[in-house]
Amino acid sequence: MKKILTLTIGCLVLFFATSCFEDLDDNAINASEITDFIWKGMNAAYLYKSEIPDLANDRFSSDEEYAEYLNGFESPEDLFESLIYLPEDIDRFSRLFSNYFDLQNLLQGNSITNGLEFNLYFVPGSEFEVFGAITLVLNNSVADNEGLERGMIFRAIDGEDLNTSNLSSLLGQTTYTLNFAEYNDNGTPEAEDDSVTSNGESITLTKQGFSENPIHYTDVLEIDNTSIGYLVYNSFLSSFDDELNDAFGTFQNANIDELVIDLRYNGGGSVETAAYLGSMITGQFNGEVYSQLRYNDNLTSRNRDYLFTTSIEGGGSINSLNLSRIYVLTTNRRTASASELLINSLKPYIEVIVIGENTAGKTQASLTVYDTPVLFSTQNINPNHTYAMQPLVANSSNVNNQLVPSDGLVPDIFLSEFPGNLGRFGNVDEPLLAEAIFQITGSTGRNALEYYDYPTPPKEVNMSKFFHPLEFEMYID
């Protein structure tokens, strides 16, 4: 995220001049500059270009036909959406931004937030009433400063009980009051008889500009004569590569025996950072292929192998642990993209034991496309508009050419988070960490495979609208 590459969208785009109409007089065409930018950018860079007939290089026989096509869309967004390949199943991730300053802030980890992340569930017995469970409180955020903690339950906002009709309006406010509740499983493992009851407590929160440090929590646990490193890592932000390396320096100095990486709320980020993290975990595979990026047929010259390395570009030497096994904690809502790349890329080399749920299923990487006249330049961006795109441009595979499946990576040990017992990060009784500890020690912790009455979580609410547009992102520096 220190660097944002761009793809050219002018007639110098790559080498296929036929798609740019060599005799094109842009000033003579009655077409929006924005839609012209969108089509040419997608024609140049989109990973699934070959699957979209309207992106074919020979799609238009004349400038006039091209202009008529562009003018047939009511908005730039309509054109962009028409060029996405199977948006419900394959490309759920390409995005168009009307203001690229917002995009740049998101890529730097900057956002407007109160610091809360949460899951939403249906109140047991209802398909309409909703409650929330706080899963993450960002360090030094508004919510953190107010004393909110992971595991707290809220049933209402501004005194109004949550339901499927008012969720967006209530949670979309800049300022709101959370009304808290207690979750009661009534002593049974089934969710049907559980209840959520107000406890009369509340806190008012206001969203503000915030920059997140993705290294959320680190610790070294000494259990049964075993030293276990534990890292909660929430985003592959390249601007924090040095801090990540420092955390591994701490693990290295502690001479840890095992490592648990908690990626439950990590939606992805920099491919380069993912390669650095893989090199920090190992160290014995320097120079070997870690992951591979493969672009569309127009961009094969951009294909790249990421290698295990001993140093951070522009930084210092990598603190490597030389481990032959790690444990990774996952959720199906939030573990995505570069997080999946890490798991997929390490598996050919070391044992990776995944505990949690199926991951999100995003194997593709993206680049930012601005309206610029020069290939891969952020200079001379068209001043007449502020649109930019973040389309999928490449597939990421491991050294064995294996992609992350679209339905996600399957955990070795399936264990869902339960809203009534989320636990605290680093607490040895927190269910997923406890399971990892059991797998390591064979005695201490909880064995989920034998814990047959582990509670069933209530039905979850689709939360896609509450994630920012780059929540599941893997981008190329």
Enumerate the H helices of 347-464 as residue ranges.
Answer: 431-441
- The identity of residue 335, as a single letter, is T
> What CATH number is attached to the domain comprising 449?
3.90.226.10
Which helix (H) or strand (E) segment holds residue 475: the answer is strand 473-475
How far is the C-alpha of 329 from the C-alpha of 58, rounded, in Å? 47
Cα–Cα nearest to 46, from 22, 17, 81: 81
Whether 2 is covered by a domain: the verdict is: no
Whether 36 is covered by a domain: the verdict is: yes
How far is the C-alpha of 401 from the C-alpha of 303, rounded, in Å? 13
Model confidence at 89, pLDDT cuts 50, 70, 90, reads confident
| Total domain count, the chain | 3
Say if pTM beats, i.e. exceeds, 0.75.
yes
Q: Are residues 270 and 388 in the same domain?
A: yes
Which range among 101-110, 195-204, 428-437 shows the weakest confidence by mean pLDDT? 101-110
> Domain limits at 44?
17-92
The 325-330 sheet, strands edge to edge? 215-223, 226-233, 258-262, 325-330, 351-356, 413-414
Query: Could you read off the pLDDT of 295-307 as tens digits, one per residue?
Result: 999 899 999 999 9
Q: Are residues 137 and 283 in the same domain?
A: no
Cα–Cα nearest to 283, from 346, 207, 339: 346
Q: Are residues 451 and 335 in the same domain?
A: yes
Cα–Cα nearest to 298, from 475, 46, 90, 85: 46
Q: Are residues 250 and 386 in the same domain?
A: yes
Which helix (H) or strand (E) segment holds residue 250: the answer is helix 241-254
- Whether 322 contacts 283, CB under 8 Å: yes
Q: Are residues 356 and 417 in the same domain?
A: yes
* Radius of gyration of the chain measured on its C-alpha atoms: 24
Q: Are residues 178 and 220 in the same domain?
A: no
Q: Are residues 352 and 207 in the same domain?
A: no
pLDDT at 6: 33
How far is the C-alpha of 390 from the C-alpha of 369, rounded, in Å? 6
Q: Are residues 176 and 199 in the same domain?
A: yes
Among 186, 211, 236, residue at a domain's last position: 211
Q: Are residues 125 and 152 in the same domain?
A: yes
Q: Are residues 202 and 278 in the same domain?
A: no
Whether 279 is covered by a domain: the verdict is: yes
User: Half-sphere exposure (CA, 13 Å, Cβ side) for 346?
Assistant: 30
Query: Could you read off the pLDDT of 122-138 as tens digits, one per residue?
Result: 999 999 999 999 999 99
Query: Could you read off the pLDDT of 140-156 as tens digits, one per residue?
Result: 999 999 999 999 999 99
Whether 155 is covered by a domain: the verdict is: yes
Instruction: Kindly state the tokens that stand for 218.
Output: 């680190």
Instruction: Kindly state the tokens that stand for 113.
Output: 């937030």
